[in-house]
Structure formats: structure tokens, C-alpha cells
Structure 1
Amino acid sequence: MKYTLDIQKAQFDEQGLASIAGWAEVYICDPVTREYVRASLDNVPYQGSVVADAYLDAPELPEKDDIAIIRSADEKSWLYITDHRGKTAYNTENRQPIEIDFIGDLPDTLTLLEPKTEFDKWNGKKWITDTEAQKAALVADADNEKAQRLDEANSTIMYLQEAVDVDLATEAETAALQEWKKYRVLLNRVDTSTAPDIDWPQKPE
């Protein structure tokens, strides 16, 4: 027949050169990262080869999203490697988050496990909370709050006591003075070593 609806397909010899010119299905990878990009068609001339970074063997598509396809360094096969791009990893030394933008396994300095507290330390496999450091920080916070509360109580009592001393205090101020003194006594009795389980006394209104 002088007509055909068939597309002329290229055929290749053992050296990868076209023994018959025509179209070939090719699978292209990125020239820098070698990651598989897409399938395409290449019109290959007689005794020519496919375009650069294109290959005739199709990669097998992975079922999971955390796998990347790359061409091997010798260009003979497709490789399947870990791909965590877009995920958040955490620095095992300082717990700082970082968005992964590279292909391959994570270095030892990164983990996908999220630390739960600012006192977590990496033991090589998981985060372990440094309970002593955490407790010390909680006690320090409680000490600061106790000091602030006592400062407020002392300044309020000083003002009210002065009003009483010069016989200018109202009945409400005289009563308030006693409530603030009771409050200060209770504050001084607070044991900050029990932080964070502290039942702070109610401040007078």
C-alpha cells in the first residue's frame, strides 16, 4: 500500500544507535540531579542516538510518594532512593526545624521525629526529655513569679500601712492591709521546688 497510518518507530542496535530511523519512546531525567522527569517521543535519525539525558528503558513507577527515581551514574539503570522533600526534619543537635529540599537519606544530624519539649535531647534513635533540666527551668520560672508577686504585695502593703500609720486609711484600706499581709505570708510559704504543681494563693482584690 502506498499509504499507512502506522508511525515509523526507530529500531536500535546493541550500541544504542538507530538501525532504522523513526520515533522512539524515551524517558528523560534531569541533567544535574539525574532524577526522572517525564516520558517523551524522540525522532531519531538513522545511525543516531536519542537526545541527551534520555533513555529507552522505562522506569518502574514507585507506589509510595517517598521514593524518587534517578538514573544511575553509569547510565545503565534506574535507581529508587528515599525522597523526603517537602517534609520537616529536625536538627538532632539544636532541635531546629528545616524543610527538606534534597533527595536521599537524611544525615545523622537530621530526623523526621519531632521533639516534644525544648529539653529534648537526641540519643541516636529518639528524643529523650532531660527531666532534670526541665525541672530546673520550671523551678526558676516559679521563683521568678514568686518574686514578682512578693514585689507587688510589698509595695501594696507599704502604701496601705502608710495610710494606717498617719490615720488616713479608710475602713476598706485597713481591711485590705490585713488581706495583703495574709497573702504575703502565704506567698512566702510557697515551695517552688514543687513546680509546676503549685497552688498559688489568691491575690486580694
Structure 2
Amino acid sequence: MSNYSTDIETAELGENGLSKKAGWITVYHVNQYTGEYQSASMEYLMLGVGLPAHSYPDKPELPPAGQALRRTVDGKSWEFLPDYRGQTVYSTETRQEQTVTQFGELPDNVTLLKPQTEFDVWNGKKWVTDTQAQQAAESRAAQQEAQQALTSRLTVANTRIQPLQDAVDLDMATETERAQLVAWKKYRVLLNRLDISKAAAINWPEPPDAEKAGINARG
């Protein structure tokens, strides 16, 4: 019998998890906090020595794409869990988006489905647009735009009226200036009679000398 051997001594573990035979063993390491599989290595165990912390002797089956591999909570086996890390999810309550950073099932209050409008609400299965809220918001926006347009027109009218009124008050106005003053005042009256709440149906009055006034008569 030869005094030499080319075989690698393989460690054997007892039921207590300690080596009952010294030698080499392949161990599989996991993250100490999440239990996710990290790597494998060869370790030499002396007689009566256990495995390194957070390591296991049984080889795991690799998971398919889209799933993560981790040790079960009781440490007795391996398991697959959904892995959405890096993907964007949306809160079903606020529509706010966030990037998934942990593996596992998604919380009940998020979805991978992207809302299409700021008025979408989650019905438990999909996003549904709240058309009433959308129409109300569009109406408010139209009213704000109409109010801004009205303010702009009134500013132009007031700017035109003031010097004409000064000329009339000082008895320095020409007939043309008197006529212009009346026209601009009528225009201002018509502007102040407009119902801004009906923004979609506003019929803007034509300003006197619209081209020189710098006003788009169509609104």
C-alpha cells in the first residue's frame, strides 16, 4: 500500500453540525440580514469544528430570472422569492413612484402598473381615471387662464384710458382723443361684464384699434 494519496480529504458533519471528520467542504454563504445567497467557497474544517457563520452545506438550486434565492427563516432549506429590484412601482394611494430595493413580494399598496394621468385612482386591479375630478381641474385651469387674459386686457385698457382722460380733464383733448376715450371706456365696461366662470364660452369684446393695442381679439 502506498504511503501517499492524491484524494482530497472531505469533511463530514455530525448531527450536531460539527465536523466528525476533518477535511474540506463546500459551503454556501448568505447575507446575515436578508438570508439571500451570496457565494460558495471551500472551507477546511478541523475535527469538532462547525461551519462559518451564515453558511450552509447543502447546495442550492439556482432560481429562474426574476426570482431571488435565500435561506428559509428556520435555516433548514432554500427558497425562491419574487425579485423586483430595480423596477419602478407606484403607490396605489398617491400614485408616487419609487424604485424597488428589496426582494420579496410587493407590498399591497404598490403596483407595477403606471398611472396614465394625475387623476387615476386604483380600483384594486387597475388604474381608472376619475373623469369628474379631471374635468373639474380642467375647468379651474381654464378659469385661471381666462382670469389672466382678462387682467391683461384690463391693464391695456387702463393704460390707454389714463392719458386720454387726462387730456379731457384738462380740456386739451382733440375730437379723436375724446372718441378714443369713449371707445376704450366702453371696452373696459364690456370686459368687466364677462363671466369668467364660463371660460370655455367667453366671447371677448373687440378692443379699439386692436392692432396698436397689442391685443389678440380672439383671446
Calculate the TM-score normalised by the size of structure 1.
0.77
Answer whether contact 1:13 1:19 (CA < 8 A) is retained: yes
Confirm whether residue 204 of structure 1 aligns to residue 211 of structure 2: no
- Separation of aligned partners in 1, 2:164 and 2:195: 26
Confirm whether residue 85 of structure 1 aligns to residue 76 of structure 2: no
Confirm whether residue 41 of structure 1 aligns to residue 42 of structure 2: yes
Instruction: State the one-letter code of the partner of 1:139.
Output: S
What is the aligned partner in structure 1 of residue 33 from structure 2? 32
Unaligned runs of 5+ in 2: 168-172
- Per-residue deviation, 1:146: 0.5
C-alpha distance 136-5 of structure 1, shift in aligned 2 (>3 A): same
Alignment map for 1:136-155 (pairs within 5 Å) = 136-155=136-155
Answer whether contact 1:160 1:169 (CA < 8 A) is retained: no
Answer whether contact 2:153 2:215 (CA < 8 A) is retained: no
| Superimposed CA distance per residue, residues 25-54 of structure 1 (whole angstroms, 9 cap, x where no aligned partner) | 110112221111111111112243322221
Q: Secondary structure at the match of 1:23?
A: strand
Answer whether contact 2:120 2:129 (CA < 8 A) is retained: yes
- Separation of aligned partners in 1, 2:30 and 2:150: 69
Alignment map for 1:46-195 (pairs within 5 Å) = 46-64=47-65, 66-165=66-165, 166=167, 167=173, 181=187, 188=194, 191-193=198-200
Fraction of identical pairs, as percent: 37
Answer whether contact 1:163 1:169 (CA < 8 A) is retained: no
Q: Answer with 86-95 or 145-154: which moved more.
A: 86-95
| Superimposed CA distance per residue, residues 109-141 of structure 1 (whole angstroms, 9 cap, x where no aligned partner) | 111222222211111111111111011011101
How many residue pairs get aligned? The number is 191
C-alpha distance 169-120 of structure 1, shift in aligned 2 (>3 A): farther
- Separation of aligned partners in 2, 1:21 and 1:51: 15
| Superimposed CA distance per residue, residues 50-82 of structure 1 (whole angstroms, 9 cap, x where no aligned partner) | 222211111122231x31111112322100001
In terms of Rg, which structure is larger?
2
C-alpha distance 115-52 of structure 1, shift in aligned 2 (>3 A): same
Answer whether contact 2:84 2:103 (CA < 8 A) is retained: yes
